[in-house]
Amino acid sequence: MTDAFSDADRTALQAAKALLENPGFAARITNLIGKPIESGIARLPAHWGDAIATVTQRALGKAADAALFTMADQPGLSASNRWHKLAVSITGGVGGAFGWAGLALELPVSTTLMLRSIADIARSEGESMTAAPTRVACLSVLALGGPSRGDDGVDSGYYAVRTALAQAVSDAAQYLAQSAGASASAPALARLISMIAKRFGVQVGEKAAAEAIPLVGAVGGATVNLLFIDHFQDMARGHFTVRRLERRYGEEAVRALYAALPAGR
């Protein structure tokens, strides 16, 4: 069944797997500063986990309303990755000036910009932004991240995450398809956002921990945010490459070939 793939599409799927299954945001921070992310966790305020969960949930709700329901439908248009990186870097620089307290103000803006960038990449891979499954797939990218501090090694793989979200994704897409005035507060979307927030919150926690490390503080919130959006742009490129190939060859065939390919870059 996997023999039907062209050489170009095999190469594209290999590149997508290399993006989706390799170490994520925490590894990029460690490569930058030479210290594990745990060195910043001890510097965060008490009960930071609960605070990040609350901030993340609110940020995702606001970002979904602002970013996904206003995108022009132009499938195949090239993605503007550099513009989005610049914008997120600026918000990170401004938010970094306020330290930990700035996260609640900065994260909704950064998340909105990242979702716009994710949608931009989806569109460049031939997705229609008026299609409910595409909008839900954009949100789902924030649940992806490669191995990280919070992963248990069992459900962190790309297809494992998709399987875990499958029912919530289906319900949310059905709601969006039937509703003219979609809102992130609707039960079907709220449930999906809650599930995504738990996974995205791990990455947000790593971002907060990184910004708490003095050396990173010297580098600046702008650099941390640049790494943050670069990571999720990679997740989006991998995810929507897989979806493009699934439309061409079918989900079962793509998943079989994906499993057979090595995960290395």
* Interval 222-255: pLDDT, tens: 777 888 888 899 999 999 999 999 999 999 999 9
**Do residues 34 and 79 lie in contact, with contact meaning Cβ atoms separated by under 8 Å?**
no
* pLDDT of res. 251: 95
Residue 119, pLDDT > 90, answer: no
Measured distance CA(207)–CA(103) in Å, rounded: 10
Percent of the chain with pLDDT over 70: 70
Q: What is the pLDDT of residues 69-115, one digit of tens each?
A: 555 555 545 555 565 565 656 565 554 544 555 677 778 888 888 88
Q: What are 174-217's pLDDT values in tens digits?
A: 988 887 666 777 888 889 999 999 999 888 888 877 777 666 65
What contacts 244, CB < 8 A, 6 or more positions away? 125, 126, 127
Mean pLDDT taken over the chain: 79
pLDDT at 192: 93
pTM for the model: 0.83
pLDDT tens for 125-183 read 999 888 889 989 999 999 997 554 444 444 568 999 999 999 999 999 998 888 766 67
- Look at residue 193 in the predicted model and tell me its pLDDT: 92
Burial grade of 62 (CB within 10 A; 0-12, 13-18, 19 or more): middle
Distance CA 246, CA 190 (A): 27
> In 3D, which of 56, 259, 65 has the Cα closest to residue 163?
259
3-state DSSP call for residue 143?
helix
Over residues 9-17, the mean pLDDT reads 96
